[in-house]
Amino acid sequence: MTDIYPLLPRVANTAYVTTAKYREWYQRSLDDPEGFWGEQAKQYISWFEPWDKVLSGGFDRLDVRWFQGGKLNAAYNCLDRHLQKRAQQPAIIWEGDNPNESAILTYKELYDRVGRLANVLKRYGIKKGDRVCIYLPMIPEAVIAMLACTRIGAIHSVVFAGFSADSLKNRILDAGCTLVITANEGIRGNKAIPLKENVDKALRDCPDVSTVIVVKRTETLVPWEHKRDMWYHNLIAEAQVECSAEIMDAEDPLFILYTSGSTGKPKGILHGTGGYLVYAAMTHKLVFDYHNREIFWCTADVGWITGHTYSVYGPLVNGATIVLFEGVPHYPTAARYWEVIDKHKVNIFYTAPTAIRALRREGDEWVKRTSRKSLRILGTVGEPINPEAWEWYYHIVGEDRCPVVDTWWQTETGGIMITPLPGATPLKPGAASWPFFGVEAKIVNDEGAPVPEGEMGNLVITQPWPGMMQTVYNDHERFVKTYFETFPGQYLTGDQASRDAEGYFWIAGRSDDVIKVSGHRIGTEEVESALVSHAMVSEAAVVSRPDPVKGQNIYAFVTLKTDAKPSDSLKSELVQVVRDVIGPIAAPGYIQWAEELPKTRSGKIMRRLLRKIANNEVKDMGDLSTLANPVVVEDLIKKRNKSEVE
């Protein structure tokens, strides 16, 4: 039996949605999606011209179109239309890495800065449909850059500032970006991140990038390429504010965001304008029960989809005040998040289970020395949250006053898909709960047949929803293959889940070769090819291993070339290779030397066995009959200890 937490009257009395309304609207959203989404689109978005058709096409032919013929602009919806009522209202409350540094940008100020940068982009030749790469830390300029792109119809591709020069290069090349916006340095946890240096390295192989706009975040000098590099502040100072918003079709692309999958290099997930914005705005308002003038803080970096949808587009479309935090949860102390909540009177706080677990481990005192009385709603996202962490969040951080919304979604889905709604959903710790309006979720076995209640299976979505990705940039075939080949006509999420008697969804984790390390999505194949790029490595196989704080950690089995000698320093080198090729977030926590890898007779690596060895579940190894070389497994089990990387 799991605990159920009933609705909290303090929230339920003013919430937009009640349990009865949820049921009624949910049914309507499935019975009459066009009627339902047409109403939402009118309510949440200002359109220059109405659409001809709310929804056309479907998953059978993969020709889905939302709000076809409708005209709008994302930046206009985030800024211009708020000026009459909200010009002086803070749009962004920026909290620096250093607790003594913060700044406020009103809607009017944000509007002005976006207009100036948009004019700068135009001056450097950027026009509708061009791709712009944004590689910035969590500073207001990151939001300004995104909105400046969308204002003129350029497609932004934000690359998380923790990715390496190599990853940045691949993303710039794949998207065909011609301009990069970066900073001389970033700062996180009082450590400098050499962003401009990474851009310089990346651009050695990107001949199409002719302009780099550099925000001066610190006083550190950086090498300068005179024809190519420009200081942001100089360009902005000379630019005009007025810049009319480009009139975009609802189906025009808004942004590309790269994410990892089971195989191959990261995919450029392409999102459109109209459907995405409607979905972002509606989910932001209802899932977080956002009320006028509340302070909303999503801790996700703008380099991830959570940052796109809930640090930028959703809240700004709704005229919200957002907190943008440059730093990390542990700096200067483990009280930082709670102090920021008090400092800026945050009402709604949205973060990841990994942060909750890490802070819980530091002890309750850090939380209890702050007030947090402004808090009303708590949210989590990115990976399953274990009940212990959930309870701590609910009781200690929220003092039993705040519903916890455990929101399940993906880069591909654009917005939250399965979640409790404050005031409508009694809470079960660890359950993502009920599908959002318009989301038809099912659990099927590997043959595609529905599984009985309570049983685990593949989570699929059977009907289109407006936030859904349009395609994989430059590779529509991959889009079709990855998401629609396994169960034709249904969107494959890649997650395993079950549904209980009350219709609550419980997400167990990925069913493919994607690892969620601290909520970051990492493809095993990417890590393997990074390891193999080292001159001494002949083969590598990467699996996940449960981790009390990170959720999962990366466990790599590495076979060296015959002339190479295993050593701890070689292990460190291998970790460094992964950091260089992908970025620090993909650094393996464990490396185990393997004289050979367990393979089937046809030469396929048996990851199932490796996972068991990594997790020390070696009592029952399951069916070994297809294994070509049984002694290999015994040997790996024997040598399992000492695999942790210092």
Task: Judge whether 408 is annotated as a binding position.
Answer: yes
Does 406 show up as a binding residue in the annotation?
yes
Give me the residue label for tokens 């994302």. Answer: 74
29 annotated as ligand-binding: no
Residue closer to ligand WT7, measured from CB, 107 or 487 = 487
Is residue 279 within 8 Å of residue 255, measured between CB atoms?
Answer: no
Is residue 432 near ligand WT7 by the rule CB under 6 A?
A: yes
Question: Per rule CB under 6 A, is residue 439 in the interface with ligand WT7?
Answer: no
List Cβ neighbours of 265 (8 Å cut-off, separation of 6 or more): 170, 174, 526
Q: Least Å distance between CB 83 and ligand WT7?
A: 31
Residue nearest to ligand WT7 (CB): 411
In the complex, least distance from residue 553 CB atom to ligand WT7, rounded to whole angstroms: 16
For ligand WT7, the closer of residues 217 and 607 by Cβ is: 607
E strands, 344-411, where?
A: 348-351, 377-381, 404-407
Per the structure block, which two tokens stand in for 528?
Answer: 């393997």
Residue 510 binds to ligand WT7 (criterion: CB under 6 A): yes
Take residue 166 and report the two structure tokens written for it: 């190599």
Establish if 643 lies at the interface with ligand WT7 (CB under 6 A): no
Among 299, 306, 498, 592, the residue binding ligand WT7 under the rule CB under 6 A is 306
Can you name the residues that pair with 633 across neighbouring β-strands?
A: none
Closer Cβ to ligand WT7, 82 or 510, answer by number? 510
Interface pick for ligand WT7 out of 495, 513, 526, 528 (rule CB under 6 A): 495
Give the number of residues written for the chain: 646
Return the number of the residue (82 or 271) whose C-beta is nearest ligand WT7. Answer: 271
Q: How far is the CB of 309 from ligand WT7 (least distance, A)?
A: 8
Site for ligand WT7 contains 283 (CB under 6 A):
no
Q: Which stretch binds ligand WT7 (CB under 6 A): 79-87, 207-215, 504-512, 603-611?
A: 504-512
Q: Does 378 bind ligand WT7 (CB under 6 A)?
A: no
Helix (H, G, I), strand (E, B) or coil at 461: strand
425 annotated to a ligand binding site: no
- The token pair that represents 524 in the structure block: 């095993």
Pairing status of strand 102-106 against strand 90-95:
antiparallel
Least distance CB 467 / ligand WT7 (angstroms): 11
> Do the annotations mark residue 384 as ligand-binding?
yes
Q: Is 26 in the site for ligand WT7 (CB under 6 A)?
A: no
* SS3 assignment for 543-611: EEEEECCCEEEEEEEEEECCCCCCCHHHHHHHHHHHHHHCCHHHCCCEEEECCCCCEECCCCECHHHHH
Residue 452, exposed/middle/buried by CB under 10 A (0-12, 13-18, 19+)?
Answer: exposed
384 binds ligand WT7 (CB under 6 A): yes
Q: In whole angstroms, how close is the CB of 34 to ligand WT7 at the nearest point? A: 26
Nearest distance, CB of residue 64 and ligand WT7, angstroms: 19
Q: Is 228 annotated as a binding residue?
A: no
Residues in contact with ligand WT7, counted by CB under 6 A, come to a total of 22
Nearer to ligand WT7, 57 or 509 (CB): 509
Strand, helix or coil at 286? helix
Does the annotation flag 521 for ligand binding?
Answer: yes
Among 132, 212, 281, 305, binds ligand WT7 (CB under 6 A): 305
For residue 87 the two structure tokens come to: 């010009």
402-421 residues in contact with ligand WT7 (CB under 6 A) are 406-411
Residue 462 CB, nearest approach to ligand WT7 (Å): 17
**Binds ligand WT7 (CB under 6 A): choice among 70, 90, 274, 382:** 382
Nearer CB in complex with ligand WT7: 305/632: 305
d(C-alpha 36, C-alpha 45), whole Å:
14
Measured from the CB atom, the residue of 154 and 585 that comes closer to ligand WT7 is 585
Rounded to whole angstroms, how far apart are CA atoms 2 and 395? Answer: 16
Six token digits for residue 544: 């996940």
Distance of alpha carbon 432 from alpha carbon 413, whole angstroms = 15
Tokens of 36: 């339902």
Cis peptide before 353 (omega within 30 of 0): no
Position 255 contacts ligand WT7 (CB under 6 A): no
Q: Listing from the earlier edge strand, what are the strands of the sheet with 457-461?
A: 441-444, 457-461, 491-499, 505-510
Q: Which is nearer to ligand WT7, 546 or 622 (CB)?
A: 546
Residue 498 assigned ligand-binding role: no
Measured from the CB atom, the residue of 5 and 47 that comes closer to ligand WT7 is 5
> Shortest Cβ distance from residue 325 to ligand WT7 (Å)?
17
CA geometry: angle at 380 spanning 506 and 322, to 5°? Answer: 150
Q: Residue for token digits 């167990």?
A: 508
Tell me: is residue 191 an annotated ligand-binding position. yes
Query: Given the structure tokens 């300068």, which residue do they identify?
Result: 224
State the nearest-atom distance from the C-beta of 389 to ligand WT7, in Å: 12
Among residues 418, 331, 368, 287, which one has the least CA distance to residue 15?
Answer: 287
534 is in an annotated binding site: yes
- Segment interacting with ligand WT7, rule: CB under 6 A, options 3-11, 95-103, 508-516, 631-639: 508-516
188 in a labelled binding site: yes
**Distance, CA of 491 to CA of 465 (rounded, Å):** 11
Q: How far apart are CA 276 and CA 370, in angstroms?
A: 37
Could you tell me where the beta strands, DSSP code E, fall in 393-504?
404-407, 441-444, 457-461, 471-472, 491-499
Residue 537 labelled as part of a binding site: yes
Query: How far apart are CB 514 and ligand WT7 at their closest, in Å?
Result: 7
* Minimal distance, residue 164 CB to ligand WT7, in Å: 18
Residues 6+ apart with CB under 8 A from 117: 144, 145, 148, 232, 235, 236, 239
Between helices 607-614 and 630-638, what is the axis angle to 10°? Answer: 20
CA atoms within 13 A on the CB side of 323: 28
Contact letters (x/-) for ligand WT7, 464-493, by CB under 6 A? -----------------------------x
**Exposed, middle or buried: residue 509 (CB in 10 Å: 0-12, 13-18, 19+)?**
middle
**CB 374, CB 342: distance < 8 Å:** yes
Comparing CB distances to ligand WT7, the nearer of 65 and 521 is 521
Among 167, 170, 259, 592, binds ligand WT7 (CB under 6 A): 259
Smallest separation, CB 548 to ligand WT7 (Å): 17
Q: Which structure tokens are listed for 586?
A: 């993909």
Does 379 sit near ligand WT7 (CB under 6 A)?
no
The correct pick among 285, 521, 545, 599 for binding ligand WT7 (CB under 6 A) is 521
**Residues contributing to the site for ligand WT7 (CB under 6 A):** 259, 305-306, 381-384, 406-411, 432, 493-495, 507, 509-510, 516, 521
Q: Binding site residues for Mg(2+), as ranges?
A: 532, 534, 537
Q: Binding site residues, as ranges?
A: 188-191, 306, 382-384, 406-411, 495, 510, 518, 521, 532, 534, 537, 579
Q: Binding site residues for ATP, as ranges?
A: 382-384, 406-411, 495, 510, 521
